[in-house]
Copies of this chain bind each other. A is one copy, B any other.
Amino acid sequence: MADPRFFDRAGPFTLAELARVSGARLLSDSDEERLFRDVAPLEMAGPDEVSFLDNRKYLAAFRDSRAGAAFIDAATAEEAPPGMALLLASEPYKAYALAAQAFYPALPVIAGLAPSALIDPAAIIQDDCEIGPHVVIEARAQLGRRCRVGANTVIAAGVEIGDDCRIGANVTISHALIGSRVVLHPGVRIGQEGFGFAPDRAGAIKVPQLGRVVIGDDVDIGANTTIDRGSGHDTVIGAGSMIDNLVQIAHNVVLGRCCILAGQVGISGSTRLGDFVMIGGQGGLAGHLNIGSGARIAAKAGLMRDVPAGTTVSGIPAVPIGDFMRQTAVLHSLGRKKDRR
């Protein structure tokens, strides 16, 4: 079970309740009233804990699991160990997520301003916000309802933030308009000047960075990620986008809705992504590109060209995934041939 030093648990819940909140179907009605106290990984779960199987790499752990119940897809039901109650779902991980949310609901916001927080009199902060110690909020900044702001965070003049946002500790935000239900993890940097200058033998000439960062609703931004403000246009992060740690997003970049960027991705200036674009860890995109909706960019890829909607690319420079796999296979075989000589 989750360490009680760090987590407060709700429940217990019957399997019927867990089936209801997760949208899963309980395989056997006779299990409906069984009580469950927690969620847990397959190897750690006991008889009153519910687990899940989503990746066949862990099938052996599933077969050996002592979990009292598990979310699985119907095709895997027959692999279950005897006595395990089965919650069938087409997407078991999603169903598990909803059940886990029932056991571990989001921490309530405790309204109040820490005495050491410095709030400019011309800032507008709703009474039900929770503002941590040593926070600095400058003039004309606005926070919506039920926002939480972690210790030592700095929100600069004029920034606007919607409702129910969770902002971690040691964050800095300037020149930004932020939607509702946005999560910023510790150390995020939003709105600083982009990397804009005209190189010159006598020294770079700085180009004033006159745009903003505009972040839609339900966006999640990982620890120590940096998002520069636009140079004239805005930098835009579409609603529902999920951005991992240590990602770099340059000025004027536009992300559509529900994009997913894994850790250490870098996107150069003025590149535009459609909706539902996915980029694997350490992927890098050159500037001024257009990436169509639903495109998938593999981890480590280096993009030099536009990518049509729905295409998967990989490699440096990135090519369609089929080409990349053939290139890799040819190279592999040439390497071995040379070896045999």
Q: How many copies, total?
A: 3
Which of B222, B240, B322 has a CB less than 8 Å from the CB of A226? B222
Indicate with 1 or 0, residue by residue over A292-326, a CB within 8 angstroms of chain B CB atoms: 00000001101000000000000111010011001
Among A24-32, A72-80, A96-104, the one that faces the other chain is A96-104
**CB-based contact B207/A96 at 8 Å:** yes
Q: Which residues of B contact A327 (CB under 8 A)?
A: 331-332, 334-335
Question: What is the minimal beta-carbon distance from A211 to any residue of chain B, in angstroms?
Answer: 8
- Chain B residue, CB-CB nearest to A278: B199
**CB-based contact A136/B151 at 8 Å:** yes
Chain A interface residue count, CB cutoff 8 Å, equals 117
Q: Which residues of B contact A150 (CB under 8 A)?
A: 154, 172
**CB-based contact B242/A197 at 8 Å:** yes
Which of B187, B203, B299 has a CB less than 8 Å from the CB of A224? B187
Q: Which residues of B contact A84 (CB under 8 A)?
A: none
Question: What is the minimal beta-carbon distance from A303 to any residue of chain B, in angstroms?
Answer: 10
By secondary structure, the A interface counts as loop
Given contacts A55-B288, A203-B239, A331-B334, 9 further A-B contacts (CB under 8 A): A5-B158, A6-B212, A39-B210, A57-B288, A91-B198, A97-B205, A170-B172, A266-B281, A327-B334
Binding site for B on A (CB under 8 A): 2-3, 5-7, 39-41, 43-44, 55, 57, 91, 93-94, 96-98, 100-101, 103-104, 114, 116, 118, 132-134, 136, 140, 150-152, 154, 156-158, 160, 168-170, 172, 174-175, 183, 185-187, 189, 192-193, 195, 197-201, 203-208, 210-212, 218, 220, 222-224, 226, 228, 232-233, 239-240, 242, 244-246, 248, 250, 258, 260, 262-264, 266, 268, 276, 281-282, 284, 286, 288, 299-300, 302, 315-317, 319, 322-323, 326-332, 334-336, 338-339
